[in-house]
Amino acid sequence: MAIGVALTVLVVGLMFASGLSRGKTAKRKYIVWGTTIILIIAPSFSWAVSILFAISQEEGFAGVALMMLLFPFFFLVGIVTLLIGVFKKESTNRSI
């Protein structure tokens, strides 16, 4: 049941981010996806994968260790994506 809730949050968050970034500039897409990775994807995906791994190995500490590896990795990916969006310059086509 709990894994279903985490996966539902993940899918709804991905659909929401996809809707927010559709038809926007590249800068806005980076910002939206960076925020989504940090707030939705990193916690729910790392938790679901870690719980499934812990159940398969029948060892809770293995799940906690995997979560301690996955969450910071995805969080850093989200930070980098967000910073790319914040510091990206808008491309302007000025034809004279």
Assign 89 a pLDDT band (cuts: 50, 70, 90).
Answer: confident
pTM of the model: 0.85
CB 49 within 8 A of CB 11: no
List the Cα angle 87/84/75 in 5-degree steps: 130
Q: How many whole angstroms separate alpha carbon 19 and alpha carbon 12? A: 11
Q: How does pLDDT run across 45-58, given as a tens digit for each residue? A: 999 999 999 999 99
